[in-house]
Structure 1
Amino acid sequence: MGQALRRTRTVLRHLIPIGIGAICCFALYDQLQHIDFAQLWTAVLAVHPLHWVMALCATMVSFWAIARYDVIAHRHFRTGTPVHRATITGATAIAIGQTTGAGAVVGTFIRWRMQSGQSLVTSAKITAFVTISFLACWAAITSAAVLIVPNSGVHLAIPCSVLAISTGVLALAFLKPVLNRAGRTFELPTLPAIAALAGFCLLDVVAACVAFWALLPAGLDLTIAQLLPVYLIALGAAILSGTPGGVGPFELTVLALLPHLPETELMAAILAFRIVYYAIPAILGGIALLRPMARKGDDWALSVDGCIDSALSQMTARAELGVVRQNGGAILHCTAGACGVVRTGQTLTALFDPVMGQTSDLVSSLKRIAKEQNRIVCKYKITKRHAVHARRAGWSVVHISDEALISTETHVTSKLAGSNFRQLRRKLRQAEKSGVKITHATDHLPLGAMAEVSKLWENSHGGARGLSMGQFEETYVARQAVFLAYDNDRLIGFITLHKTSHEWCLDLMRARPDAQDGTMHMLVQQAIETAHKNLVPCVSLAATPAGALGWHCGFEKWLRSKFFAKAGGPGLRQFKASFHPRWQPLYLAAPGRAQLLLAALDLIRSVRRAKPLRPAFALASSQVTTLPS
């Protein structure tokens, strides 16, 4: 029964457009019976040659714009297809598909035929992406045009509803860039991709409308602004009908929306438009289809996880870079150097300072990779020296946090004397009086007890954080320095630190809600002393959010104060300040202010909405590389 129902739905899905087209063609034939077709063809031939040239040029612009949808789709699915190949394939698929009808099916097979080595499934995904995204952009643009142009004859509730839904889709694409439904994952287009799609759609429909307008007989008094909403609605009727070339629905819609114009002249313009916009592109597309393009090899290659360990062995590498073992990040190697990168919903983020090379040398590589994924590029938690280089390159830079750095030699030799360590001494005494004992776990970890403590901490703190902050996971913490706090034989807290030969960096801090006061201070103090014994010169207590300063403007000062309080900044800064660290400012940088704002919002979302744990991957290539899916 279920199989029969599915077959019935499939048959109806193909028969309904054919039926609609047949009905529209019958209605059109009935309406145009009085037209003299000899006079119609004479009107077509009467179009001035310059108008034909204008229409052909506008058609070229339109097809270039809509073909860019394939470029964005290939970047979305990270196929590695070059821009020119994706553009030619997209233009061919659309030129033939819009003429033959059943554009989704035809377009899929054309893309499969022309992209040698590309699977049919991938071709279907590209076609679905192009079709759905174009229809969504068309709906939004048509609604805006109907609202802007008066006397369109469409009830205002319809375009207002469409624009409201479009706004909701934009919010969803930012807040929930990856959807999980029925065990399947769907990655939504990034906001930069959506902006590009909307721009290309607008260019496409305006250029097509110009081509149509250029072919109108000289006697018709109709401006492009008046014709645009009519063309948009007629285009939608043609696409949704699924008929070859949209024949029937397109003509009926144009005639219905322009009843005050003579039918013969309108039909002459439509016939000329079909020659320029349908027949000629279909012929050229058929020629291009005869020979599929050769496929070049991918320009990226995966390496083993050891690439991360190799990067961390560099004296310039931040120990905190070890978080890429968990957050789905990578170590990007290119001719200009190496750095840690991670993909978020809207950005390709370079984590921390480069492992090798200068930030300025890696800019072109990072920009290209981000562009190939429809993302913006940004640099997160870079130090002042690299922030200066970014600002000189024209990037927008903002101070986002301060890292607490401890010189183990200075800290240990001070013996915590003086007023700078007064709070730390008091906290350590409280923990000692409570009987808290600290051990450095070097062999077997009490993973079950640690998981319990971590779960209790997450429940009381609103969950774990992500991106540059680690999450508890057995294989992840097994590669870190781990310190455990016990009350008798009961585990009450623990900390983990990323470790390299030149630096340790505080990562996880977990404690039971009823842990004794001073437990965390004692854990960190023991970690600093152990690092000193192991000849590690520096321990980073990680970063705290930057608060508002006197020179900030009123709104920025208010915004920073709110974020500082919401992110737990006062408590974190007080805790870390008790160790009398050296505060190192860290910065966020992006190519422009708008991109900086989008990157900041996306990174905040990524930190607060930790993704499920993912293993890291690493890239190695002698050329500029792109991140695989």
Structure 2
Amino acid sequence: MTQSPALLDRVLDAVRRHTVADNPSSFLALNKGNKFFTTPGLDGVVIYRTTGRHVVQFGGPFSAVEAYDALLDAFAQHVRDRGHKLVAVQLQTYDAHTYARRGFTVNQLGASWAIHLSEFTLSGSRFMQLRNKISRAHHNGLQIQEVAVDDVRDALARIDTAWLGSKGGARPLEFLVGQIGGSVQALRRLFVGTIDHDPVAYISYSPVYGSRAGWMHDLSRRVPGGSPGLMEAINAQAIETLRSEGANWLHFGFTPFTGLDAGHEVEGHSPAFQWLLQTLFAEGAALYPAQTQLSYKKKWGPQEQIPEYVAFDGPASLSSFAHIFRACNAF
């Protein structure tokens, strides 16, 4: 099903109400470009994109507990009937065990990270380097403000262009990262840093539902070669703002290849695919800068490490794995 205002409202309602899997990235279900699968009589929705002969599903079904299994089965059969291959990404632990029971090959793909805001502090020796970077940014004239997108749209575009240019003309990632703009923008938060009134960096935050409700540090970009500590300073101020409003959790989103642990694997996983992912964390920076992403997240001292999974309808497949990155516009 293609997107329409009424359907987006239905998806938002499902994401808010149906948190059985506790997916901290669930708001990404509302990204422009996603497709939706529903079945009459079943309370829920499945989110996916199609690349070639593959269907890449985001998360498990966002559905009522009593409809979850039936909706998953209906969607998997829908994909098979069309001669496509199904691969699901960013599954949570509840999803992973359910898919494995249905014969999918399920492996841990990475992890997401979160801090409990009521317990968070930047004091102490462990955060000394982080405090120094934040101080340098402010010393260099950084000013931070929460703004509406319409007030800074052109400035954001200039930052995006400079940021992508510094990555050798890299494609802007989609699907498993957030967006700015669109009909649900009012539900996000946007913090922008300026120096001498010139926007130099921004971080967008998306709402998180479920047992660790709060916000997710989502899309973030900066001009290359600027002051050190821009992102750190913006995030620190956002943390204080969100905490003052009573938010409980700040999530840092999913990073593939990180947090891999044999203890997180489910029955029937592929040892060969497990080895591949460990190799990609160690040597796969050209595919995805997992170590750089993890370093940024770890500097905030996250208390929660949440394993996330990939599921293949059949044996683990390199072709299906590659199509996840195609769905993300990585290549």
TM-score w.r.t. length of structure 2? 0.80
Shift of 1:489: 0.6
> Whole-Å Cα distance in 1 between the matches of residues 23 and 137 of structure 2?
31
Q: Secondary structure at the match of 1:593?
A: coil
Q: Indicate yes or no: 2:130 matched with 1:416.
A: no
- Aligned with 1:351 (options 58, 69, 77): 58
Q: Deviations over 1:240-274 (max 9, x none)?
A: xxxxxxxxxxxxxxxxxxxxxxxxxxxxxxxxxxx
Shift of 1:403: 0.4
- Cross-structure match for 1:396: 105
Cα 1:583/1:452, change in 2 over 3 Å:
same
> Whole-Å Cα distance in 2 between the matches of residues 424 and 491 of structure 1?
22
Contact 1:485 1:491 in 2 (8 A): yes
- Cross-structure match for 2:28: 323
Letter of the 2:74 counterpart: S
- Cross-structure match for 2:79: 370
Shift of 1:602: 0.5
- Cross-structure match for 2:217: 506
Q: Indicate yes or no: 2:12 matched with 1:309.
A: yes
> Whole-Å Cα distance in 1 between the matches of residues 128 and 298 of structure 2?
11
Shift of 1:381: 0.5
Calculate percent identity across the aligned residue pairs.
19
> Whole-Å Cα distance in 1 between the matches of residues 140 and 129 of structure 2?
17
Contact 2:142 2:194 in 1 (8 A): yes
- Cross-structure match for 2:250: 539
Q: Indicate yes or no: 2:93 matched with 1:384.
A: yes
- Aligned with 1:448 (options 135, 148, 154): 154
Q: Higher strand proportion, which one?
A: 2
Q: Secondary structure at the match of 1:543?
A: strand
Question: Residues 197-596 of structure 1: matches in 2 within 5 Å?
Answer: 303-314=6-17, 316=19, 318=23, 320-334=25-39, 335-345=41-51, 346-358=53-65, 360-411=69-120, 415-442=121-148, 444-461=150-167, 462-471=170-179, 473=181, 477=185, 479-499=187-207, 502-547=213-258, 556=276, 557-564=278-285, 566-581=287-302, 582-594=304-316, 596=317
Contact 2:110 2:260 in 1 (8 A): no
Shift of 1:570: 1.3
Shift of 1:564: 4.8
Q: Secondary structure at the match of 1:587?
A: strand
Q: Deviations over 1:344-399 (max 9, x none)?
A: 21333332243223554432111122134432223210112321222233220111
Q: Secondary structure at the match of 1:305?
A: helix
> Whole-Å Cα distance in 2 between the matches of residues 315 and 533 of structure 1?
27
Letter of the 2:200 counterpart: I
Letter of the 2:315 counterpart: R
> Whole-Å Cα distance in 2 between the matches of residues 354 and 420 of structure 1?
40
Contact 1:339 1:353 in 2 (8 A): no
Shift of 1:420: 3.9
Contact 1:328 1:342 in 2 (8 A): no
Contact 2:109 2:310 in 1 (8 A): yes
Q: Secondary structure at the match of 2:122?
A: coil
Q: Which has the larger radius of gyration?
A: 1
Counting matched residue pairs gives 307
Q: Deviations over 1:274-306 (max 9, x none)?
A: xxxxxxxxxxxxxxxxxxxxxxxxxxx994432
Shift of 1:544: 1.4
Cα 1:328/1:529, change in 2 over 3 Å:
same
Q: Secondary structure at the match of 1:406?
A: strand
Q: Secondary structure at the match of 2:234?
A: helix
Q: Deviations over 1:110-139 (max 9, x none)?
A: xxxxxxxxxxxxxxxxxxxxxxxxxxxxxx
Moved more, 313-322 or 399-408: 313-322
> Whole-Å Cα distance in 1 between the matches of residues 250 and 328 of structure 2?
23
Higher relative contact order (CA 8 A, sep 6+): 2
Letter of the 1:587 counterpart: Y
- Cross-structure match for 1:600: 321
Contact 1:493 1:519 in 2 (8 A): yes
Letter of the 2:27 counterpart: G
Shift of 1:472: 5.0
- Cross-structure match for 1:144: none
Contact 1:436 1:485 in 2 (8 A): yes
Q: Deviations over 1:471-522 (max 9, x none)?
A: 5557665552100001121110111122256332222111111321111111
Moved more, 453-462 or 567-576: 453-462
Q: Which segments of 5 or more consecutive residues in structure 2 lack a partner in the other structure?
A: 263-270
Contact 1:341 1:350 in 2 (8 A): yes
> Whole-Å Cα distance in 2 between the matches of residues 420 and 362 of structure 1?
46
- Cross-structure match for 1:28: none
Shift of 1:591: 2.3
TM-score w.r.t. length of structure 1? 0.44
Cα 1:448/1:488, change in 2 over 3 Å:
same
Letter of the 2:191 counterpart: F
Shift of 1:325: 3.5
> Whole-Å Cα distance in 2 between the matches of residues 467 and 443 of structure 1?
20
Cα 1:333/1:530, change in 2 over 3 Å:
farther
